[in-house]
Structure 1
Amino acid sequence: MTAAIDVDRIAALDVHTHAEVSARGHASLDAGLHAASSAYFKVQGERKPTLQETAAYYRERNMAAVVFTVDAESATGTRPVPNEEVAEAAAANPDVLIPFASIDPFRGRAGVRQARRLVEEHGVRGFKFHPSIQGFFPDDRLAYGLYEVIEETGTIALFHTGQTGIGAGVPGGGGIRLKYSHPMCVDDVAADFPQLKIILAHPSFPWQDEALAVATHKPGVHIDLSGWSPKYFPPQLVKYANSLLKDKVLFGSDFPVLTPDRWLADFAELPIKDEVRPAILKENAARLLGLTRS
């Protein structure tokens, strides 16, 4: 499926938004983890927009957004929002939504078959991995079948990196281990799949320098800036975004826990070069996603 997004028209392209609740009513996080993450991000009010509400939200702001669920059922016991539901919502709102999927690596061969079907039959453009919640190292061979499909189909692998707000403040972090989201584990993936398009999600605290090294060294690796207000970005991230990685850094918010309104207001205050700003806000992502101009 070809996206109908008008790149010239939109003001920004958000590559990191979450589908947290299904139209059938169930949420992708249990109540405890959901409440803890809302507290961590200081979310005001209810935080469970439907996919249709997300589409309307971005349309109102003249933006487009990549949207995905997180499938970590093996580790958490919680069913994800169905990938097919995300894809159907994007198909119904092709001017604003771009569908990514998420498949628990522990689904094995069934997950690999599902990945191919989601691309071929539902127009999915990428896959979200959250190693800390899913409980696997990205360079573990159990995920390599998924990477083979993603590379072969020209879609994108997006990896959560660094600390996560999910489980923060819960005793034992809710059992979620930060070690799985070290960006150097993704370096092995980039080396083993040289044509794979990869996004390292978030400023990768406490491994920011490692993430910058991987993105500088591996041509297929990009960085999205989601999950943090730009006023808290490490200085070296801003420096690289303005220079060596100016074509590989992408706007992402982490909606609904961090809104694009807040993110963009703080981003406007960063010392980003005038010629780099539009690249970060939409041009780099449009190129990576293969969006065509009208």
Structure 2
Amino acid sequence: MKIIDAHIHYCPKKPYFDTIAREAGHENTESHLLREFKRLGIEHAVVMGNQTLDSDAASFPESLSWCVGIDERFFTEETPSWWYDRTERLLASKACVGIKLYPGYSHHYITDKKYEPIYELAEFFHKPVAVHTGATAGTGAMLKYSHPLIVDEAAVRFPGVRFVLCHLGNPWITDAAAVLDKNENVTADLSGILEGNPSMDQFLKDKAGYLSHIRTWLEYLDRYDKLMYGTDWPLANMEGYIAFTMSLIPEKKWDQVFYENARRIYGL
């Protein structure tokens, strides 16, 4: 089975990412990542953030595409025109396949008027806007900004933009399913739901109720063409996450969720 990981982070030599990679049974290095890709049949991956707009990500391996990261500095710096110009230039690159927003960390709703030129660029270049939805890392973020229901308003106001609910809005799975069901221009990735490297057999047993809840609402939605496999690497063990995702998705839909949808949505 061919696989595209629609949501990873690529931060070699960063102490925080070194630590969480070890906890997930990995090494936070390019060589290790590419070895795991080859071993597990992962053909491609999409990096979220590309280390903000400061870098052209020229050092990324060919097997990685990336999204422009619009982080909290977008609302604190006094030269927003620089952000628009820089975003436009990066979106013109083939390797750049979308835009990533971090509303919980930026403390602004994605419906803020300041984002409107960003959405115009996304529509012009036919590239999706991925939005961090659901729980956040650390205590400095604000959850009200990352609730998946906020994407509903953005999807209505900007029908020409394709939005991606990163992390399926977890733990607001029910709300995320409602947003996906209502809006044809909203899709989701399944990343960041599982962390670390637990024993998968034990995890599936211990978390049966939690997994049943997710599975129930995915079945309710019944739009497997809208769901993309993703891990949030290095947060989670890749081999374990494949097994975890297989437990959520009917086997007849694996090709869609693991490969075809990401290829279509991110234009890979």
Q: What is the TM-score normalised by the length of structure 1?
A: 0.74
Q: Which one of 129, 144, 148 corresponds to residue 120 of structure 2?
A: 148
Residues 24, 236 of structure 2: 8 Å contact kept = no
- What is the CA–CA distance in structure 2 between the aligned matches of 1:138 and 1:259, rounded to whole Å? 30
**Pick aligned residue for 2:37 from 49, 58, 70:** 58
5 Å-filtered alignment, 1:27-176, equals 27=14, 34=16, 38=20, 43-44=23-24, 48-50=28-30, 53-63=32-42, 64-69=44-49, 80=52, 82-85=54-57, 88-90=58-60, 92-93=61-62, 96-104=63-71, 105-106=74-75, 108-121=80-93, 123-164=95-136, 166-167=137-138, 173=139, 175-176=140-141
> How far has the Cα of 1:47 moved from its partner?
5.7
Answering whether residue 256 of structure 2 is matched by residue 279 of structure 1, we say yes
Are the aligned partners of 1:65 and 1:98 in contact in 2 as well (CA < 8 Å)?
A: yes
Find the aligned partners of 1:14 and 1:246 in 2 and give their Cα distance: 16
TM-superposition CA deviations, 1:108-144 (whole Å, max 9, x none): 2211111110012464111111211222211111212
Higher normalized helix content (fraction of residues): 2
Task: Specify the alignment match of 1:20 in structure 2.
Answer: 11
**Given the alignment, which residue of 165, 176, 184 partners 2:149?**
184
C-alpha RMSD of matched pairs (Å): 2.7
Unmatched tracts of structure 1, length 5 or more: 1-9, 72-79, 168-172
Letter in structure 2 aligned against 1:131: P
- Judged with a 3 Å threshold, the aligned counterparts in structure 2 of structure 1 residues 45 and 14 are, in CA distance, closer, same or farther, namely closer
Task: Verify the 8 A CA contact 1:163 1:206 in the aligned structure 2.
Answer: yes
Whether the 8 Å contact between 1:20 and 1:81 is mirrored in structure 2 is no
| Map of 1:260 onto structure 2 | 238
CA distance in 1, matches of 2:267, 2:166: 19
Do the aligned partners of residues 55 and 69 (structure 1) sit closer, same or farther apart at CA in structure 2, a change above 3 Å counting? farther
1:178-257 correspondence runs (5 A): 178-229=143-194, 231=204, 234-242=211-219, 244-257=222-235
Partners of 1:218 and 1:289 lie apart in 2 by: 18
Query: In 2, distance between residues paired with 1:182 and 1:102?
Result: 19
- Give distance in 1, aligned partners of 2:22 and 2:93: 38
Alpha-carbon distance in structure 2 between the residues aligned to 1:269 and 1:214: 23
TM-fit CA distance, 1:218: 0.6
Cα distance in 1 for partners of 2:152, 2:27 equals 34
Q: Distance in 2 between matches of 1:42 and 1:140?
A: 38
CA–CA distance in structure 1, aligned partners of residues 227 and 239 of structure 2: 19
Aligned pair count reads 248
Structure 1 residues 12 and 115: alpha-carbon distance in aligned structure 2, compared to 1, 3 A threshold? same
Q: 1:136, 1:48 → 2: CA distance? A: 31
Percent identity over the alignment is 25
